Structure 1
Amino acid sequence: MLTPAFHFDILKPYMKIFNQSTDIMHAKWRRLVASGSTSLDMFGQISLMTLDSLQKCVFGYNSNCQETPSDYIAAILELSSLVVGRQHRLLLHCDFLYRLSPDGRRFRRACDTVHRFTADVVQRRHQALSHWGREAWLKSKQGRTVDFIDILLLAKDEDGQDLSDEDIAAEADTFMFEGHDTTASGLSWVLYNLACHPEYQERCREEIKDLLRDKESEEVEWEDLSRVPFSTMCIKESLRLHPPVTAMSRRCTEDIKLPDGRVLPKGNICLISIYGTHHNPAVRPEPQVYNPHRFDPENSKNQPPLAFMPFSAGPRNCIGQNFAVAEMKVVLVLTLLRFALRLDQSRPVRRKPELILRSENGLWLHLEPLGPSREGQPPAPRS
């Protein structure tokens, strides 16, 4: 039912949103650098940017959350933190005790904030759809970006029934939570890896300059995404070395015989380590080395299909992976065009797996603006 929400024709108009959200983030970075803050935590900065993009793509709503505080965004960030904190405290695994605890009360308040926001958007959109009728509603959307709520409102279940408001809100909430942290992690780590390897960073930058050389503005378009092969290799190698989601679980649908003769019985739930698979020396020689050339088409054509699975694998893989990759490419292209990245040697990086793969004390990089920027400016007039 949800697959149409991620069809390329739906994703293409989101490119403008990705560009705009990145422009806002970069304008903020320039102000911070000008005021003396040359080292910034990529996780904190990029998380707000991905949340900004998602609110626009999921709800068609601009909260300006990169510049001003938002109760909804604060609630999402708090819920993510509370979920991780609960995992590490055994007594709080009991729902009854958790509800009585201070964290449990904070969790309930934050949930109420998120659910109120989503329910309000869905209800107002549903009322508009009922008022206009399906055909007039679709006609009103022609030439405009269709957001995730629109797709869900028009979806039918296997019995041809519309989704309930509760179903729509649940899907929208899931995409907001799953879609911001994971993409922010993937982007933060690729910027970190390129800061560690200035030679790869510079090669990406030259590729990006060639791509945008004859453009009137710095806006990345859908067709450009396939024209940055080396930058794409750098993203893939970063997702291998630092996969945002480090593990997944699957229930066995049949008995599975392992190479040593032991059998995983049907019905068993298995935890599969994405991180372990990506770092398996039997699959990847020198697995701790960041080497984008692993993903050169010549070098990767004989790799087993499950040797690389940052978005999971099989029929239950990540439905939003094309959305995430498109956003990552736009942000990487514009960031390397406008900034040089260097490690902040005073803040060592130590990996920390939570809901997603983070860095223990943030991921701090020095930023150096590269010349005047045209972010957010209209195209120059033709001569």
Structure 2
Amino acid sequence: MSAAVAPKNSFFYEFLKPWLGDGLLLSAGDKWSRHRRMLTPAFHFNILKSYVKIFNDSAKVMHAKWQCLITEGHTRLNMFEHISLMTLDSLQKCVFSFDSNCQEKPIGYIAAILELSALVAKRHQQLFQYKDFVYYLTPDGQRFRRACRQVHDFTDAVIRERRRTLPDEGADDFLKAKAKTKTLDFIDVLLLTKDEDGTGLSDEDIRAEADTFMFAGHDTTASGLSWVLYNLAKHPEYQERCRQEVEELLKDREPKEIEWDDLTQLPFLTMCIKESLRLHPPAPTISRRCTQDIVLPDGRVIPKGVICLISIFGIHHNPSVWPDPEVYDPFRFDPEHIKGRSPLAFIPFSAGPRNCIGQSFAMTEMKVVLALTLLRFRVLPDKEEPRRSPELILRAEGGLWLRVEPLSAGAQ
């Protein structure tokens, strides 16, 4: 369906609005179309290429932390906790060129994002707090307001400072010069992008898009990475095959880092990520509202005005499309097996015009971090099986715990 026929249902996402404003996730109509066109260059592979170094560095910090914890006798780690901080760390660098060392010490801005994510998920489960005037009288509502203000203040300050140093003209030359000396970040691209009429984004628009990217980019990728490590812990034969693929790729290289051109040289690791995204899609449900009657292939009609909840989790576990859907089998994504399968059978990043604009960013980060993690550590299942918790993001109740062992090569 076109974005006009089936726009996002605002009720499903409205609790995010005070935080994320009218960014791509929540906007609709002409505003969404304009912003989508203007933001597309921010996810071009030339921009993504420069982020690969950031992903390597953030993963390295997380692994150093793991090494310390293991030395102290803590071999059982909560993947969600560690990987969420790692994805926030890399996002702060990609979005703002800001290095807060948030993986190593508590940072107010990062704590505020984690708190906002938790509060939105909690509010969805408490019907009596759906009305704003009730919610903002509660302690949670007041915490939400405070955290929102903290996040907005940070983003506003970065935009103001960057706007001040931006040249009035010669933006293209400025971009090229900056790209040679440092990573071109998301704020740079947003400040310099123009539509067909030569009009740029307002500061409020830039804040909304930056805050949206920080929210949508950290939790989803952390979920995807945590669950793929869980699945590989449960299937040591696939884990070992991934590790051998990475070792072979990096055997004559020092330091052992993943580069942009390596990403296409990891076919089995990519298959393992995709099968994990099928089994454990980070966004288990999406919501759309029909603005006109929609006739289904069998003749039934979804009437105008109806809100449709689309279960990505359900689609990915449909036995008529995926035989033995609960079985983790990376070979489902072997190029030979993909032929003839509907492109809508596998939609971890949604589908259609409102699909995830950051899917290449997310897949790049997942490949880099997974490859380096398997190069340095062996992951083993915890004695307790995690219970899936489908909130806005697919989590595990009480965290997703795995046992981690350093490999001799990774300890060097």
Q: Normalising to structure 1: TM-score of the pair?
A: 0.95
Counterpart pick for 1:199 among 223, 233, 237: 237
2:103 is matched with which residue? 66
> Matches of 2:307 and 2:197 in 1, distance apart?
30
> Matches of 1:328 and 1:301 in 2, distance apart?
25
After TM superposition, the structure 1 = structure 2 runs for residues 244-255 of structure 1, keeping only pairs within 5 Å, are: 244-252=282-290, 254-255=292-293
1:301 is matched with which residue? 339
How many residue pairs get matched? 374
Counterpart pick for 1:6 among 34, 43, 46: 43
Query: Where do 5+ consecutive residues of structure 1 fail to align?
Result: 376-383
- Please state if 1:122 is matched with 2:167: no
> Matches of 1:206 and 1:83 in 2, distance apart?
41
Q: CA deviation at 1:267?
A: 4.5
2:372 is matched with which residue? 334
What's the secondary structure of 1:161's corresponding residue?
A: coil
1:271 is matched with which residue? 309
- Please state if 1:366 is matched with 2:403: yes
> Matches of 2:399 and 2:152 in 1, distance apart?
29
Give CA-to-partner distance per residue, 1:76-123, whole Å, 9 cap, x none: 000011111111111211111111111111000000100000000000
- Please state if 1:95 is matched with 2:132: yes
Say if 1:136 and 1:297 are closer, same or farther in 2 by CA, change over 3 A: closer
Contact 1:122–1:149 (8 Å) recurs in 2: yes
2:295 is matched with which residue? 257
> Matches of 1:292 and 1:349 in 2, distance apart?
21
Q: CA deviation at 1:359?
A: 0.3
- Please state if 1:281 is matched with 2:312: no
What's the secondary structure of 1:373's corresponding residue?
A: helix
After TM superposition, the structure 1 = structure 2 runs for residues 122-201 of structure 1, keeping only pairs within 5 Å, are: 122-130=159-167, 134=171, 137-143=174-180, 144-201=182-239
Q: CA deviation at 1:14?
A: 0.3
> Matches of 1:64 and 1:359 in 2, distance apart?
26
> Matches of 2:407 and 2:169 in 1, distance apart?
49
Give CA-to-partner distance per residue, 1:57-87, whole Å, 9 cap, x none: 0000000000010000000000011111111
Contact 1:255–1:264 (8 Å) recurs in 2: yes
1:223 is matched with which residue? 261
Q: Which portions of structure 1, spanning 4 or more consecutive aligned residues, are displaced by more than 6 angstroms?
A: none
Contact 1:218–1:374 (8 Å) recurs in 2: no
Contact 1:14–1:57 (8 Å) recurs in 2: yes
After TM superposition, the structure 1 = structure 2 runs for residues 4-43 of structure 1, keeping only pairs within 5 Å, are: 4-43=41-80
Give CA-to-partner distance per residue, 1:240-284, whole Å, 9 cap, x none: 000000111233355333355321124433211100000000110
What's the secondary structure of 1:40's corresponding residue?
A: strand
- Please state if 1:85 is matched with 2:88: no
Say if 1:285 and 1:25 are closer, same or farther in 2 by CA, change over 3 A: same
Give CA-to-partner distance per residue, 1:21-58, whole Å, 9 cap, x none: 00000000000001000010000000000000000000
> Matches of 1:47 and 1:276 in 2, distance apart?
25
1:381 is matched with which residue? none
What's the secondary structure of 2:100's corresponding residue?
A: coil
2:329 is matched with which residue? 291
What's the secondary structure of 1:306's corresponding residue?
A: coil
Contact 1:41–1:364 (8 Å) recurs in 2: yes
Q: CA deviation at 1:131?
A: 6.7
- Please state if 1:355 is matched with 2:392: yes
> Matches of 1:32 and 1:335 in 2, distance apart?
15
Give CA-to-partner distance per residue, 1:301-326, whole Å, 9 cap, x none: 11001000000001110000000000
Q: CA deviation at 1:135?
A: 5.2
What's the secondary structure of 2:408's corresponding residue?
A: coil
What's the secondary structure of 1:365's corresponding residue?
A: strand
Q: What is the percent sequence identity of the aligned residues?
A: 67
What's the secondary structure of 1:340's corresponding residue?
A: strand
The aligned amino acid for 1:341 is: V
Q: Normalising to structure 2: TM-score of the pair?
A: 0.88
